[in-house]
Structure 1
């Protein structure tokens, strides 16, 4: 009781003390408030105080700062009555908020309209000047470049683009003891829906007291294609069957398109499959194998669902179901609490896995481990890119272009320290806009694509999503499906969506979800009033989808054929990785001295060039990933592959199986050199194979580049562009007659010197290369080619409106294309760019050689005359085929170079090899 009285007395004294200086009787509250405001407890904004006494004149703004300590007033100048406003108080009392006018919309583009695609390379450095270095192009244009680029490149390669809590949700660590947990204590529970004992899925003996006995009968990956029917199939039999029919498992497109191109099977033959179903043949075929089968086993079939990934950065992955649902990072490092995995990682030698010297030993490196021992349906893009790279959609989506295999330009000691991903160095280009906004592959490509209910016919793609599914058209909005609560299918769809930690409680019965072109519900995209909202399956981020119907159409969208007859990617794809002319050299014995200075990316050849030589190359159909290496059967011989040319700016147009104009891409243009005869003499010298139908084995397929941007390519990238129409480079010679080309191919096993890798069709629409599937995909015909090359009044009008819309006044007044007067003057000041050596394959010496190009003599007077009379000179008709050799154009193929390395210029009247054109000889295009 005494203690309670003491505390009460202390509180009373304290309260009296604090009230004395602030609330003493007679104190004017306003004396401590020089601004004349008091605060209302129920609102946050200040209210004017109400002091007692007569009303005072309101104080001006300057009076708040002119507080005088005494009553003295400043001396005032004599001010006449006319200079004073008549009613100052009224003006101050009636003051109201000023309405800010709306900002004027911009008409021009500036740097603020374009996001920095290298923000991840730049890192968190706020001041970009600290990481940028100035540079100057050949024609004098200044630019900024990243300084120590290798550190930024490695950081880019390391970044996974996801957070653990988003893709896994709640993580439960098993801290049990005894049995398997004696070694694996702390391991993560693989899923809240898979609360099984370890031996239920992995086998083994949990009661054994020694490691060999405990691991007897152990299955490290029960979800592999071999083990999935026995383990996963107990509960997920339908999923296991569907994944076994997917193109990722059967590899039907890879096998049958390649075999058709090499003449090993007709197009209408029953297709081969790694997991054959009805009306399919097993692969490999029985009986005598074709040469293409050795190529497929050692090269192409490294990428299918049951093939292990090489032990190098970017390629760490599991097989079967775990190839998707068990996440690996690019460096293969695990963050699992499993004591056994952490002990193995800690005992390994610490080294930078992203350096080339580590990646070049991918068959003898230790294996990588999954990020966590946990399944997920929130699969990040990096997981897809463990397989979908190789200058395909995965690398394009990230803005990466793999550099081609070429002789090293630096010593091996320096090259070995360079960072690589998938065994390659990369150029950094602009990524896809969807990637830049934070979307991942599965935000567009849903599970029904990977595991379709109905398998696509023949060799067609299984892709279901289309751009118009989400963005609609200028006249139509996307289609949706109402989720009815009483519908059994709705309950099934909601249950499936709730397995993703980022979709729980975001989609409910009564919502309208989007359906794709195959009428498959996309449960992460729902309608919200007049908008469509996408919730990323990997990040949970909310994305408002822009609808074309709600956007004022651009000039290009006002052309009906652009909307109705073209794929969106034909214009909106900013670039596409192109690989032209695949030279395949088959050798009987391993000759490292020829290739030791090359930056090859094939994991088997890299391993052997590092000194770990073995007989033949690994058969990826039999390869198995072991803790310390990759093992498998060996196939006799060695296949070396080199592309003659690579780039990203040349996009060729054609028609796809949907009847729409799209991008066509070579997959691949084969040129085979066979050195595997008993005497080592070449039985083939850079010969294109022939199909059984008699066509060239130069295969093209339709393609949708994953480099979509809001800013499209220019109109001239297709119109008035011979290259885009499939006619080849206008500065080179080209084939005018398909009959003579095919005769040379069939009777002499070669191509004419005038042939170009990028020419797929003649001016009159005769195909020179093979588009697959036949009768579904084709190059442009003569009518379409002529329409692209003509400059009709309609095209001129649309082009003018487009340039005016883009606010490009200089382009509207130009006299030449693509060079304006200022650019031409700058080129004349800087001079000609240095010549680059051309790379040719010398069959006699079985190696690539460099040939210095020469510039042909050009009569400038004729060009000046042509420029001065370009408006009045009539168009010249195409010269006869016999006169083609008289042009000063470039020859791309010349087999004489194969005979003698020292002979750089033939002694005949033929043209020099690959001269770079003089800028003055560029053809004039009418704007």
Structure 2
């Protein structure tokens, strides 16, 4: 009753004009529903601060008594100077640089974890680019956007005790992927420094192009890239066009780079209403404002695949507009996306906010696996051990069942928790609860952020109900290696974006300059604003970066082993082919591919520094890719598109003009059509040859990442096998399907050469029998039946009704 009276008083005070901020910002949307627990907390703080009903000052600070914009947007109320709250006026209160005084008052764990999260440090991206410029920091992950280090107390890692113990073990196994501290990325080089060492252009490349997306920056102001800073990067809605569509008269409606509405989007219990549409959760498109480069998982999840083409045309005949500076084909969306699942429905708070400790790349930061919800055909998710499918070693494939949990950490209770938690919350592979996934009997109820509940039947239950197809049973149940040695998405991700050959030009001629986004974000003031939010032109550094590629593909990605030791799809990572133009307009490096020094087995020169990256493509379909797309594919083996036999030698310059039949160029004035790439002797899609020699690196973040080894390739390779038998098969149903052949050969560990030999013997025997005659065949069959079933096993054929 007291709470109701307090709320009524606060609302009445608000109604009679205690909040002077809305004199200018009349019509602005409440940041949260006024009946929500969050708004009640905000109003309680405003009352303690001596300004009951003024929710604006709790986040923005400022001087609420002034009617002048100049003075209203200055300072903070006296209470907050010595109590938790804003210490100055904050136009962007979610900014990473001051949000410990705003968002962190109520959400201290997430805010404390943010500085070491991968979304802030971008360590994997930085190490990947530096690797492609000659492995400037080797296998280690020591450079990031900012100087930081892990907490001294391991118990400060967010998560359960099981999770903390597990992560400490991973950090010991993969120290290069779980660094303890991080130093700041070196500054952008001067032109003079570039002429001494052109490889320093990597710092220009990173700062001008790659490091716009971290949450300490507001990013780039382009269509599809508009977003907030800090917590608002995800939790405040921005449209792709960047226009404000709310009712605050002070915000310009025709000016881009504004939030769509002054509201918070977060969990299932938070409703956002814009015009006539009400939704909950964080839309996928919010995530895609950043996750559209690199592995492109955001746009891929939505079914968008980059293209060079402009079709289709609009009503005025204009080509497709650029989104995230790219144009797209519309492919099949991920099956989870089609079911209405948002990114946060799978990814945990630790995945998104971080756990407070550093991780060098995605595989270190993400704690979930497909089997956490789907299990296997032989075990339910709760019957699997902690660490299953997240192994980094063989040990985690066995162990006691992980079970479920009835409790969640205090910081997770601020989000949505189902009222009916059934038998308990499902656990991730690393031992944290999945609050949206509740066990009910042998089923799982997913409580989606959108407000929808869906029933999930694990694979074991589907098998028990005989709901799996024969193909699925063979692939997942009969061929156990598919489940124990491969990622689920190796088969179920039917396409992946493959951008072959990343041609980077860094041009320092003619005084060219572009913004250093990282330097601009470093220049943050007491108001929480960064240089990029004030005037990006002040942060120009020498050089101008442009990027292009050799070609794009999407179908049937190649296979390799990831850092968890499982077979996975791989796509081009940083296949950086570098051209650096000096101040005089001459190339200091031209189409240059660096070599990785001192890599075991790479020869004296080392391997090419271009890389193929293991990936979860986020393009999952219920119907998996065909058996043949892996077992009879040159590309799947790592031999490249068309087995590497289609492209000409890229290390040789191509000149096209009038020439004689013996190849002599007729004119004297000619230009190079396709300049050479000296260190590239093969197509970008080929990363091993037929002799299993590795031609480029594969997944350099983790120790276990590598191309398929000889024994793995021998098990996979079934090229030409079908033709050995099936070229003379008559019409009609075959006794055994080709898929079953493949399954049996894999289980028996018979490689392709041995299989071909068996087939050869069978065919030779068949030819011999044809010569001897059909009568002998009948006698032989009768003799085999006699020896096998009658004499050896003493079976009376008449007892079985034989005639």
Which runs of 5 or more structure 2 residues have no equivalent in the other structure?
A: 1-10, 33-37, 47-54, 76-88, 150-179, 194-199, 268-280, 383-401, 522-529, 599-605, 653-674, 741-759, 765-803
Matched residue of 2:211: which SS? helix
**CA distance in 2: counterparts of 1:712 and 1:185, whole angstroms:** 54
Task: Return the offset for 1:696.
Answer: 1.6
Matched residue of 2:99: which SS? coil
**CA distance in 2: counterparts of 1:221 and 1:512, whole angstroms:** 39
Does residue 1:641 correspond to 2:531, yes or no?
no
Contact 1:316–1:329, Cα closer than 8 Å, also in 2:
yes
Partner of residue 232 from structure 1, selected from 83, 103, 109 = 103
Equivalences for residues 803-842 of structure 1 within 5 A: none
Does residue 1:505 correspond to 2:422, yes or no?
no
Does residue 1:463 correspond to 2:366, yes or no?
yes
Partner of residue 232 from structure 2, selected from 322, 326, 348 = 322
Does residue 1:292 correspond to 2:202, yes or no?
yes
- Cα offsets for 1:336-355 (capped at 9, x unmatched): 343433xx21xx2xxxxxxx
Tell me what 1:387 maps to. 290
Equivalences for residues 838-857 of structure 1 within 5 A: none
Contact 2:311–2:319, Cα closer than 8 Å, also in 1:
no
Task: Return the offset for 1:753.
Answer: 6.8
Flag the 1:415–1:304 CA change in 2: closer, same or farther, 3 A. Answer: farther
Equivalences for residues 192-203 of structure 1 within 5 A: 192=39, 193-195=41-43, 196=46, 197-203=55-61
Tell me what 2:515 maps to. 618
- Cα offsets for 1:635-667 (capped at 9, x unmatched): 212111001111101411001111110011221
Equivalences for residues 387-786 of structure 1 within 5 A: 387-390=290-293, 392-404=296-308, 418-453=320-355, 455=357, 458-459=360-361, 460-479=363-382, 489-490=407-408, 492=409, 496-497=412-413, 499-500=415-416, 503=417, 505-507=419-421, 511-537=423-449, 539-552=450-463, 553=468, 554-557=473-476, 558-589=478-509, 616-621=513-518, 622=520, 624=530, 631-675=537-581, 677-693=582-598, 694-730=606-642, 732-733=644-645, 750-751=677-678, 754-771=681-698, 772-773=700-701, 775-786=703-714
Contact 1:763–1:782, Cα closer than 8 Å, also in 2:
no
Task: Return the offset for 1:458.
Answer: 4.3
Flag the 1:294–1:411 CA change in 2: closer, same or farther, 3 A. Answer: farther
What TM-score do the two structures reach when normalised by structure 1? 0.57
Matched residue of 1:204: which SS? coil
Equivalences for residues 78-227 of structure 1 within 5 A: 177=17, 179-187=20-28, 188-190=30-32, 191-192=38-39, 193-195=41-43, 196=46, 197-217=55-75, 218-227=89-98
Tell me what 1:107 maps to. none
Tell me what 1:247 maps to. 118
Tell me what 1:257 maps to. 128
| Farther off after superposition, 324-333 or 769-778 | 324-333
Contact 1:204–1:216, Cα closer than 8 Å, also in 2:
yes
Tell me what 2:262 maps to. 372
Contact 2:123–2:145, Cα closer than 8 Å, also in 1:
yes
Contact 1:764–1:781, Cα closer than 8 Å, also in 2:
no
**CA distance in 2: counterparts of 1:517 and 1:587, whole angstroms:** 46
Task: Return the offset for 1:285.
Answer: 2.2
**CA distance in 1: counterparts of 2:440 and 2:531, whole angstroms:** 48
Flag the 1:648–1:792 CA change in 2: closer, same or farther, 3 A. Answer: closer
**CA distance in 2: counterparts of 1:701 and 1:176, whole angstroms:** 60
Larger Rg: 1
Flag the 1:269–1:461 CA change in 2: closer, same or farther, 3 A. Answer: closer
Matched residue of 1:248: which SS? helix
Flag the 1:626–1:761 CA change in 2: closer, same or farther, 3 A. Answer: closer
Contact 2:631–2:716, Cα closer than 8 Å, also in 1:
yes
**CA distance in 2: counterparts of 1:755 and 1:413, whole angstroms:** 44
Tell me what 1:790 maps to. 718
Tell me what 2:250 maps to. 340
Higher fraction of helix: 2
What TM-score do the two structures reach when normalised by structure 2? 0.65
Tell me what 2:183 maps to. 282
**CA distance in 1: counterparts of 2:289 and 2:109, whole angstroms:** 26
Which runs of 5 or more structure 1 residues have no equivalent in the other structure?
A: 1-171, 349-364, 591-613, 742-747, 813-868, 874-927
Contact 1:735–1:762, Cα closer than 8 Å, also in 2:
no
**CA distance in 2: counterparts of 1:555 and 1:796, whole angstroms:** 23
**CA distance in 2: counterparts of 1:541 and 1:806, whole angstroms:** 46
- Higher RCO (CA-CA < 8 Å; seq separation 6+): 2
**CA distance in 2: counterparts of 1:571 and 1:467, whole angstroms:** 12
